[in-house]
């Protein structure tokens, strides 16, 4: 995996984006392998790989010490992808759920068949219908052993604190990030909430969701009070996953990806994950425009760096519940977990129609802005505009459907196809705008 190449170097950042392949009529199609074959060896600064669905692509940047080159590399190679897709008479859909019926099929790889049996055949279909954006930030230096793909046994108390505070910080920001990045109001032709991907993916809000029967592998993480508690949760979850694999006549080695070595850390698909590549991964966000991906990447970079470099302690408390993201004396006050779960539900189902989700998102942006250089704060403009207008990408999708077919909880097939084609047509303009922003900061 690409993150292993530079473990132990200065702080590294990595970005993963996912997409659906669509045909010239706007339907999702199982053409990912054809695209991968056509682009083999042509992308020099990033990696294009398969995902669990035959209509899904994952685009990964090589790790870098700065977000700016990671974004530039992603955008440069993505332009090659768009050119190749044009040649193949195909397109890309970059929002987290296709609004109509998703006709893509799941791959038949052994690892996916195992997971399907564990989670349930109907539940596992969700994985084939949802895409997201993932951000990687490398763990503190000398905390992670790349040979054993786990923490060092003698990790220092300072490194333990830094890992813990980063972990808890990513949990605390989740309701804000999911609101700011939401792009998936429809799932399989039905309007579900403002973030249908997370509702159907995480497992604790919706019958038929991906992790409904095994929620400990998908729901939002709880805070950890100390480093030992974090290790204990990882150990418990790994033991449960090994047990479930054994019931299927499999083990961690059989379940691992083709290019991966076995690690106890490869048993979580939660929004916040300590990975076997020596990173902390935030994976709770919808996919969205490159402009918003750019903005979120810089927001997470500066927030993570501030927490680590300034040795900020992240403290869930009533102070944080009443006054979220208040920092004083190197302590960042964040809401209690009960409040975070309440905010999560409001964010996923109501978005900025919820005054609480709107306020929480604004407080997060205010906090992030303080950590950013003045000349880079423009990166937050798409989010500032969304908060001011109380309108997310999900709201824009809903408005498009309403204009096309009136007020309806159902999206017609033709409407979904036309919206997908319109979204693809917008990508190149979004790409050029984002490249210009990235190159001028």
* Stated pTM of the model: 0.95
Residue ranges covered by each domain of the chain: 2-430
- Picking from 39, 51, 81, 54, the residue whose alpha carbon sits closest to that of residue 269 is 51
- Picking from 290, 436, 307, 298, the residue whose alpha carbon sits closest to that of residue 376 is 298
Strands 13-22 and 272-274: unpaired
Question: How big is the CA angle at 284 (ends 358 and 64), to the nearest 5 degrees?
Answer: 110
**pLDDT score at 8:** 46
Question: How big is the CA angle at 111 (ends 251 and 134), to the nearest 5 degrees?
Answer: 110
Is residue 363 classed exposed, middle or buried when 0-12, 13-18 and 19+ CB atoms within 10 A define those classes?
middle
**pLDDT score at 10:** 55
pLDDT tens digit at each of 441 positions of the chain: 444 444 444 567 889 999 999 999 999 999 999 999 999 989 888 899 999 999 999 999 887 677 777 788 888 899 999 999 999 999 999 999 999 999 999 999 999 999 999 999 999 999 999 999 999 999 998 999 998 899 999 999 999 999 999 999 999 999 999 999 999 999 999 999 999 999 999 988 689 999 999 999 999 999 999 999 999 999 999 999 999 999 999 998 888 775 556 788 999 999 999 999 899 999 999 999 999 999 999 999 999 999 999 999 999 999 999 999 999 999 999 999 999 999 999 999 999 999 999 999 999 999 999 999 999 999 999 999 999 999 999 999 999 999 999 999 999 999 999 999 999 999 999 998 888 887 777
- Picking from 397, 387, 379, the residue whose alpha carbon sits closest to that of residue 360 is 387
Listing DSSP states for 374-404 in one string gives: GGGGGGGHHHHHHHHHT--HHHHHHHHHHHH
In 3-state terms, what secondary structure has residue 268? coil
Question: How big is the CA angle at 98 (ends 438 and 21), to the nearest 5 degrees?
Answer: 65
d(CA 433, CA 290): 9
Residue 79 and residue 270 in contact, taking contact as beta carbons nearer than 8 Å: no
Torsion of CA 433, 295, 186, 399, to 10 degrees: -60
In 3-state terms, what secondary structure has residue 373? coil
- Picking from 207, 209, 178, the residue whose alpha carbon sits closest to that of residue 195 is 178
d(CA 368, CA 386): 16
Query: What is the torsional sign of CA 4, 6, 7, 11?
Result: negative
Kindly report the three-state secondary structure assignment for every residue of 185-250.
Answer: CEECCEECCCEHHHHHHHCCCCCCCCCCCCHHHCCCCCCCCCHHHHHHHHHHHHHHHHHHHHHCCC
58 φ, ψ (degrees, to nearest 5):
-120, 130
- Picking from 70, 207, 34, 182, the residue whose alpha carbon sits closest to that of residue 126 is 207
Residue 288 and residue 423 in contact, taking contact as beta carbons nearer than 8 Å: no
Is residue 69 classed exposed, middle or buried when 0-12, 13-18 and 19+ CB atoms within 10 A define those classes?
middle
Tokens 């490194």 map to which residue? Answer: 159
d(CA 311, CA 386): 31
HSE-up of 250 (CA within 13 Å, CB side)?
18
Return the CATH fold of 2-430: Creatine Kinase; Chain A, domain 2 (3.30.590)
Name residues whose C-beta falls within 8 Å of residue 164's C-beta, 6 or more positions apart in sequence: 224, 226, 227, 230, 314
CA 291: distance to chain centroid? 15
């Amino acid at each position: 995996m690409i993150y292993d190449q530079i473990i132990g170097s200065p702080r590294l950042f990595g970005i993963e984006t996912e997409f659906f392949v669509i045909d010239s009529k706007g339907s999702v199609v199982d053409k990912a392998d054809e695209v991968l074959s056509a682009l083999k060896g042509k992308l020099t600064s990033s990696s294009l790989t398969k995902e669990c669905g035959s209509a899904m692509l994952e685009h990964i940047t090589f790790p870098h010490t700065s977000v700016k080159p990671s974004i530039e590399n992603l955008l440069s190679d993505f332009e090659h992808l768009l050119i190749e897709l044009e040649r193949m008479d195909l397109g890309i859909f970059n929002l987290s759920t296709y609004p109509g019926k998703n006709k893509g099929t799941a791959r038949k790889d052994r690892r996916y068949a195992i997971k399907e049996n564990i989670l349930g055949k109907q539940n596992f279909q969700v994985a084939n219908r949802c895409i997201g954006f993932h951000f990687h930030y490398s763990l503190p230096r000398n905390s992670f052993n790349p040979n054993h793909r786990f923490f060092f046994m003698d990790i220092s108390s300072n490194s333990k604190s830094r890992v813990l505070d980063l972990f808890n910080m990513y949990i605390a920001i989740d309701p804000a990030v999911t609101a700011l990045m939401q792009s998936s109001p429809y799932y399989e032709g039905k309007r579900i909430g403002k973030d249908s991907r997370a509702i159907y993916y995480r497992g604790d809000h919706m019958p038929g969701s991906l992790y409904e029967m095994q929620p400990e592998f998908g729901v939002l993480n709880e805070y950890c009070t100390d480093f030992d508690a974090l290790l204990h949760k990882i150990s418990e979850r790994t033991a449960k996953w090994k047990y479930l694999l054994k019931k299927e006549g499999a083990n961690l080695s059989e379940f691992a990806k083709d290019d991966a070595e076995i690690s106890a850390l490869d048993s979580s698909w939660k929004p916040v994950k300590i990975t076997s590549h020596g990173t902390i991964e935030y994976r709770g966000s919808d996919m969205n425009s490159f402009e918003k991906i750019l903005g979120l990447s810089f927001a997470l970079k500066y927030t993570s760096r501030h927490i680590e470099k300034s040795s900020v302690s992240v403290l869930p408390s009533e102070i944080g519940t009443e006054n979220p993201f208040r920092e004083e004396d190197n302590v960042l006050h964040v809401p209690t977990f009960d409040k975070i779960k309440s905010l999560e539900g409001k964010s996923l189902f109501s978005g900025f129609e919820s005054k609480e989700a709107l306020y929480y998102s604004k407080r997060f942006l205010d906090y992030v802005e303080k950590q950013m250089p003045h000349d880079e704060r423009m990166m937050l403009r798409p989010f500032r505009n969304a908060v001011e207008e109380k309108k997310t990408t999900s709201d824009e999708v809903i408005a498009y459907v309403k204009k096309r077919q009136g007020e309806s909880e159902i999206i017609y097939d033709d409407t979904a196809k036309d919206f997908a084609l319109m979204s693809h047509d917008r990508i190149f303009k979004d790409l050029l705008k984002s490249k210009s922003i990235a190159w001028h900061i």
